[in-house]
Amino acid sequence: MSAERLPMRKLREMVRLMSTGTSARKMAQGLGVARSTVADYLRRAEQAGLRWPLPAALDDDTALEALLFPENATEERKRPEPDWARICLELKRKGVTKQLLWEEYRAQAEGGYQYSQFCDRYAQWEKQLHVTMRQDHRAGEKMFVDFSGDGYDIVDPGTGEKRRAKLFIAVLGGSGLTYVEAVFDESLPTWTRCHVNALNYFGGVPELFVPDNLRAAVDQPNRYEPLINRTYADLASHYGALAMPARVRKPRDKAKVEQAVLLAQRWILAVLRHRRLSSLVELGEAIDPLMEKLNNRVMRKFGKSRREIFDSPEKQALRPLPPHAFEYAVWSRAMVPRDYHVAVGGHYYSVPYNLVGQQVEMRTTAACVEILLRNRRVASHQRQDSSGNTTDEAHMPAAHRAHREWTPSRIEEWAGRAGGSVAIVARTILERKKHPQQGYQSCLGIIRLGNKYGNDRLNAACERAVELQAFSYRSIEAMLRNNRDKLDADEASASLPAHGNVRGADYYLN
Same domain for 230 and 345: no
249 located within any domain: yes
Same domain, 247 and 338: no
Least confident residue range of 399-408, 449-458, 488-497: 488-497
- Look at residue 133 and tell me if it is in a domain: no
Cα 102 from chain centroid?
Answer: 40
- Asked if residue 95 and residue 54 are part of one domain, the reply reads no
* Bridge partners, residue 142, by sequence: 208
Same-domain check for residues 360 and 433: no
d(CA 31, CA 50): 19
Of 91, 77, 175, 75, residue with least CA distance to 126: 91
Do 42 and 162 lie in a common domain?
no
Q: How confident is the model at residue 508 (pLDDT cuts 50, 70, 90)?
A: very low
pLDDT tens for 19-41 read 777 888 888 887 778 888 888 87
| Tens-digit pLDDT profile for residues 252-271 | 555 666 787 888 888 888 88
Residue 90 belongs to what domain range?
A: 84-128
Crossing angle (nearest 10°) for helices 24-31 and 8-19: 150
Do both 88 and 71 map to the same domain? no
Same domain, 312 and 275: yes
Q: Which amino acid is at 50?
A: L
Domain's final residue, options 356, 377, 398: 398
For residue 242, is it within any domain? yes
pLDDT at 183 over 80: yes
Q: Are residues 47 and 105 in the same domain?
A: no
Number of domains in the chain: 5
Q: Is residue 2 part of a domain?
A: no
How far is Cα 230 from Cα 245, in angstroms, rounded to an integer? 14
Task: Name the least confident of 194-208, 269-283, 316-330, 480-494.
Answer: 480-494
> For residue 453, is it within any domain?
yes
The per-residue pLDDT for 157 is 82
Residue 383: CB atoms within 10 Å = 16
Helix (H, G, I), strand (E, B) or coil at 347: strand
Q: List strand residue ranges (DSSP E) for 354-427, in order.
A: 359-364, 368-373, 376-382, 388-390
Tell me how many degrees the CA angle 199-228-195 measures, rounded to the nearest 5. 15
Tell me which of 110-119, 173-182, 203-212, 286-295 is least confident: 110-119
Identify the weakest region by mean pLDDT among 41-50, 129-138, 230-239, 334-343.
129-138
pLDDT per position as a tens digit, 122-147: 887 777 664 444 455 778 888 998 88
Same domain? For 110 and 255 the reply is: no
Is residue 263 a part of any domain in this protein?
yes
Q: Is the pLDDT of residue 71 over 70?
A: no
Phi-psi region of 74 (alpha: psi -120 to 50; beta: other; left: phi over 0): alpha
The answer on 67 and 90 residing in a single domain is no
pLDDT (tens digit per residue) in 84-128: 777 777 776 666 788 888 888 888 877 788 888 888 888 877 776
Longest CA–CA span in the chain (Å) reads 133
146 shares a domain with 232: yes
Give the percent of the chain with pLDDT over 70. 81
- Point out the domain boundary residue: 68, 100, 128: 128
Mean pLDDT of the chain: 80
Residue 271 and residue 146 share a domain: yes
* 62 domain-assigned: yes
